[in-house]
Structure 1
Amino acid sequence: MRPTRLTALALTTTAAALTTLGATAAPPRPALPEPTGALPIGHTRLHLVDHQRPDPWVPQQPRELMTTLWYPTAHPDRPPAPYLTPAESRATLDYLEGLPELPDDTLSTTRTHAHTNAPPTAPTLPLIVLSPGFKQPRAALTGLAEDLASRGYTVAAIGHNYESVATEFPDGRLTTCLACELNDQTTVQRTRADDVTFLLNELPERTPLRPNRIGMAGHSTGGASTTQVLHNDPRVTAGINLDGTFAPPLTDDLDRPFMLIGAPAHRPGGIDHTWDTSWTHLTGWRRWLTVAATDHASFTDFSSLFEQLGSKLPGEDLDSHRTTKITRDYVAAFFDHHLRGLPQPLLDGPTPHNPEVIFEHHDQR
């Protein structure tokens, strides 16, 4: 018996519904935004142990760090780099708020654009050190790191041990955020500055990389601690604070190039007064930019990842594609200007191409 038109329509509708159901039930696999530079990216991880320094959170142990490196490579045939390990993915999903229930491996299967253990093409390149926010994994700045590496930088993201919800070491140990129990930001920032100095000492000993100029950027606590790194280590010549509250505010002058990029909460006279107080102590080249309709985590991978996972960062109204592009463009322009000596009109003032970016203060230096 041939199916009637109504029966055929019902069968088609049922098949479409089953297809939709299957598509809905498929585990999400988000991807980081594509890098904008032309160069393929290599990726490797370093396990570093400072036997001369006890860990401030576990004093009976030496200070240990996991660091991720990205750099240009001529060998884009190596396996894709993982975003997080499965154990780190589980712990990070537990930490993040506002997401639907997701498989534990969602962030360990997130697609990246770097190639594991691919050799670097040019060991002598400018280096940018990245420091994540308090509690956040170092992977939270992977999208920015990949973009900078694709533009010809070496990038090192430091995992500050016991200051993240999860850091997995090569032997399978998973450390958690012991520092969160104390929330001693003075010790956190001092420790992070020491971590950066140790990394810079170890990098030429442990890798073929020989940075010729060094800058630093960080998000949240990582951004606030960048000023302390510039005060302590003359090798680091320029820095960026991405939405980090200065705790405490700056009291000593800093004459090296520095840029503040943040959400509206940091605007002059806004909720966070530490930028107002600290601004006068930035005595070198300086910029203070607000990105409208953003929130604290907008300058990390979580803006894009949340959107792909069916949610939105609390407080963020700007589309994640715009947030990502603005963050990448202004960070790259800053380092191109100060580490490579390339003029960057983007940093001179407001532009109609980026109406969301407000120049609160800037000096024509």
Structure 2
Amino acid sequence: MHLARTTALALAGLLTLVTPVPAAAAAPAAPRLPAPTGSHAVGVTSLHLKDASRGDPWVPAAKARELMISLWYPATGTRGRHQAPYVTPKESELLIKDAELPVAPDTLSKVRTHAFTDAVPAGRNRSLPLVVLSPGLGSPRSSLTSLAEELASRGNVVVGIDHTYESVATAFPDGRITTCVACENKDADFGQQVVRSRAADVSFVLDQLTGAKPKWRGAALIDRSRIGMAGQSVGGASSIGAMVSDKRIRAGVNLDGTTFAPIPERGLARPFLFMGSPTMHSPGGKDGSWGRDWKQLTGWKRWLVVTGAEHASFTDVPLLAEQLGIDLGFALTGARSVEITRTYVAAFFTRHLTGKPQPLLDKPSAQYPEVRFAG
């Protein structure tokens, strides 16, 4: 099966494989994400960025690479602010059409989040770590919203990137909607192409947020010496690619992504976390890329396998699907998979971006018996 349907089935593509439950069991019209557990209120804002130094890798006629990003951050002054939409109505329509879901076209735009649009950023200058999130192929940046809100509530700035033409739907401020041109690519080295392109996207975004003239009004809060990255599916693979090419990224997480671009022979000495599903990413599982790359990770590392998880379990997909009355057939519930993903990813970045010990990462936990230490 083509890469676009094997590594990127996170929000739209995966749901083409599910079976709706009977209409009588349909869930409420407005699904909601779980509240974040940190002590900070969360703000969110979106930015349109343009990299005029390079053309678009998927649409040659586009002479500049344009990106939409969302920034989640600790906030103050949320009174009177509106809770942010999960996606726009048009993005929802295209995602639902692509997935052939038996729900209203605007359903995903009504998902209840916990971040407040354009709330005032809170914190001291140069005090907050920055975490980059990269979604699976075909999926929008919103597919990792529950993780983003959790990390922001714990005192991080989080930037989610829509890698243009790699998502089923990306809305721009001028009304344009781009679709997943890359999903139709059949090149033998397509996986490596995506990883290279995303590494360039990430470096550009970091430049825009931490450079001399940052594009976000809260950029002064970011501690440029404490930057991490996590991603799901090919977004997770791109965490490695971005770390190899950009030394500003101190720590990385791959959530169930085949690593198409191997780590160079010199290795990667910065902290890294593999966290995946048992079918694909147990030692000896169907995908062997983690075993290959494990040997090249020469710094702090962990390899966690989550019993009952599937490829999309590390996104918002299972949680939203259950509330929409869609049976994915996963052994692990959406609420539990979100809790596990949030808890372990947050512990990883707390340990490696703030230096605070996290015993959860040292040995199996009775609180999370689903999580097995494979390395």
Q: Same fold (TM over 0.5)?
A: yes
Q: Which residue of 2 aligns with 1:202?
A: 208
The structure with more radius of gyration: 1
1:248-305 deviations in whole A, cap 9, x for unaligned? 4434311100000000021011111111111101111000000000100000000110
Contact residue 263 and residue 293 of structure 2 kept, 8 A: yes
- The 5 A counterparts of 1:1-365 are 28-61=29-62, 62-77=64-79, 78-96=81-99, 99=101, 101-122=102-123, 124=126, 125-183=128-186, 184-204=190-210, 205-207=214-216, 208-210=218-220, 211-212=222-223, 213-252=226-265, 253-264=267-278, 265-314=280-329, 316-361=330-375
Contact residue 297 and residue 313 of structure 1 kept, 8 A: no
CA displacement at 1:26 relative to structure 2: 8.7
Contact residue 214 and residue 238 of structure 1 kept, 8 A: yes
1:189-244 deviations in whole A, cap 9, x for unaligned? 10100001100111141113132110000000000011111111111100000000
Aligned-partner SS, 1:46: strand
Supply the RMSD in Å over aligned alpha carbons: 1.6
Counterpart Cα distance in 2 of 1:216 and 1:158 = 11
Letter in 2 for 1:232: S
1:57-85 deviations in whole A, cap 9, x for unaligned? 11232100000000011122211101000
Contact residue 283 and residue 291 of structure 2 kept, 8 A: yes
Letter in 2 for 1:90: E
Counterpart Cα distance in 2 of 1:237 and 1:24 = 46
Further displaced range: 206-215 or 268-277: 206-215
CA displacement at 1:324 relative to structure 2: 1.1
TM-score (norm 1): 0.89
TM-score (norm 2): 0.87
Contact residue 298 and residue 313 of structure 1 kept, 8 A: no
1:317-359 deviations in whole A, cap 9, x for unaligned? 1122211111111001000000000000000011111110000
Counterpart Cα distance in 1 of 2:273 and 2:157 = 20
Counterpart Cα distance in 2 of 1:71 and 1:248 = 31
Counterpart Cα distance in 2 of 1:223 and 1:322 = 20
What is the total number of aligned residue pairs between the two structures?
337
Counterpart Cα distance in 2 of 1:133 and 1:226 = 12
Counterpart Cα distance in 2 of 1:360 and 1:270 = 12
1:30-80 deviations in whole A, cap 9, x for unaligned? 001111112111110000000111111112321000000000111222111
Counterpart Cα distance in 1 of 2:27 and 2:131 = 38
Q: Which runs of 5 or more residues in structure 2 are unaligned?
A: 1-22
1:118-145 deviations in whole A, cap 9, x for unaligned? 1101253100000000000110000000
Letter in 2 for 1:194: A
Counterpart Cα distance in 2 of 1:279 and 1:31 = 37
Contact residue 307 and residue 371 of structure 2 kept, 8 A: yes
Letter in 1 for 2:159: A
Contact residue 132 and residue 222 of structure 1 kept, 8 A: yes
Letter in 2 for 1:333: A
CA displacement at 1:95 relative to structure 2: 2.8
Contact residue 129 and residue 155 of structure 1 kept, 8 A: yes
CA displacement at 1:168 relative to structure 2: 0.6
Aligned-partner SS, 1:126: strand
Counterpart Cα distance in 1 of 2:27 and 2:290 = 45
CA displacement at 1:312 relative to structure 2: 2.9
Counterpart Cα distance in 1 of 2:143 and 2:327 = 16
Contact residue 218 and residue 240 of structure 1 kept, 8 A: yes
CA displacement at 1:94 relative to structure 2: 2.2
Letter in 1 for 2:349: F
Letter in 1 for 2:56: D
Aligned-partner SS, 1:108: helix
Contact residue 249 and residue 275 of structure 1 kept, 8 A: no
CA displacement at 1:186 relative to structure 2: 1.3
Q: Which runs of 5 or more residues in structure 1 are unaligned?
A: 1-21
Query: Judging changes above 3 Å, is the alpha-carbon distance between structure 1 residues 220 and 89 closer, same or farther for their aligned structure 2 residues?
Result: same
Contact residue 317 and residue 334 of structure 2 kept, 8 A: no
Aligned-partner SS, 1:140: helix
